[in-house]
Amino acid sequence: MNKNIIAIAIAALGFVIGLAFLGNAIKNRNKSENTISVTGLGVKKFTSDVIAWSGNFSRNSFELKSAYDQLANDRKVIENYLVSKGIPKNEIIFSAVDIQKQFNYNTDANGRSSQTFAGYQLSQTVSIDSKDVAKIENLSRNITEIINLGIEFTSSPPNYFYSKLADVKHQMIADATKDARQRAEKIAENSGSSLGKLKKATMGVTQITAPNSTEEYSYGGTFNTSSKDKEASITIKLEYGVD
């Protein structure tokens, strides 16, 4: 008899504890749902103030020394040309010389392949980083002047950057946070509630594209360098409690 009473008491106690756990779970679930999650957007347009441009030139010869001497002469001509266009010498950077052996490949009537030495190709890159954007832009557009000097020269499109990007990001974060809070306040007002404390904030990645472009955003962030004018954006997700 005593054993039955003890068993019933234990079962009853377990039932009460179970109800308590269930009540707390429902209470916590309702508490967690009593929130507002909103996403704010910060956008900023700006114009690049730094430009990076580069070009490649090369020489070919069966004699390595001959090719190197010709390339060295080209390097001097290019440097003099750039200086004459108002580019400071300390902004003109020449890379190390790249040396490649060239071969001609042939196949005879029996399908056997062979190769013959076709000489050396030596190439070098000249690059400029400058805050004088207009000057370097003009230089990159008129690069045929270097070709007319008898140099085999290939120009790359310039890349554009902004030296105060950190300031832009700070302003966008402030704008996105303000935008998110205003949205949350409006939702709370329309639902007859009042906005509580901020519980969580999550910042998205910075996306930098050309204005009015069709560039796609990237999960890790987009950074356009081909356009001088840029548009940056960032999102901030805020989660507030509701009173």
Decide which of 137, 160, 183 is a domain's last residue: 160
Which residue positions in the chain have pLDDT lower than 50? 1-32
- Contact of 228 with 133, CB cutoff 8 Å: yes
76 shares a domain with 145: yes
76 shares a domain with 129: yes
Look up the CATH number of the domain holding residue 192. 3.30.110.170
CA 193 remoteness from chain centre? 41
User: Rg (Cα) of the chain, in Å, rounded?
Assistant: 34
- Contact of 201 with 238, CB cutoff 8 Å: yes
The confidence score (pLDDT) of residue 217 equals: 86
Boundaries of domain holding 142: 51-160
The confidence score (pLDDT) of residue 14 equals: 46
Three-class DSSP category at 102: strand
153 shares a domain with 224: no
The confidence score (pLDDT) of residue 33 equals: 64
136 shares a domain with 82: yes
16 shares a domain with 57: no
**Number of structural domains in the chain:** 3
Decide which of 125, 160, 195 is a domain's last residue: 160
pTM for this one? 0.77
**For 233, left (φ over 0), alpha (ψ -120 to 50), or beta?**
beta
99 shares a domain with 76: yes
The confidence score (pLDDT) of residue 28 equals: 42
154 shares a domain with 64: yes
The confidence score (pLDDT) of residue 164 equals: 96
The confidence score (pLDDT) of residue 112 equals: 85
